Amino acid sequence: SSSSTSNCEEVHKFTSYKEKCTYLNSELRCQPDGYIDYLQIFYCVFGQLPVLGYTALIIWLIILFYLLGNTAAHYFCSNLEALSELLHLS
């Protein structure tokens, strides 16, 4: 199958947010592999206000990067410090 068939790019053929939302809900191949259905959120929840949808998803992305950095600083940095002391690294 082609890439447009497997990853739900056909949603862009529709013009209104209601059509896009209906398409996403009706197509099984548009179901997410992860825990959060970002297309559903963008087109069905924030369909009338795409600027708000972009804003919400950008804020969510910032939160995810913050959590990733915080986790790395909390768990990995202390282990790297201990390893560098053990190996007498600067």
39, 56: one domain: no
Domain around 15: 7-48
66, 33: one domain: no
Tens of pLDDT along the chain (90 residues)? 444 445 788 888 888 889 988 888 888 888 888 898 898 899 999 988 999 999 999 999 999 999 999 998 888 888 888 888 889 887
43, 20: one domain: yes
What is the total count of domains within the chain?
2
83, 55: one domain: yes
Instruction: Please check whether residue 8 is in contact with residue 39, taking contact to mean a CB–CB distance below 8 angstroms.
Output: yes
Domain-embedded: residue 76 = yes
Instruction: Please check whether residue 11 is in contact with residue 39, taking contact to mean a CB–CB distance below 8 angstroms.
Output: yes
- At which residue do the structure tokens 């600067």 appear? 90
φ, ψ for residue 50, nearest 5 deg: -65, -30
Domain-embedded: residue 85 = yes
**Entry pTM:** 0.70
39, 12: one domain: yes
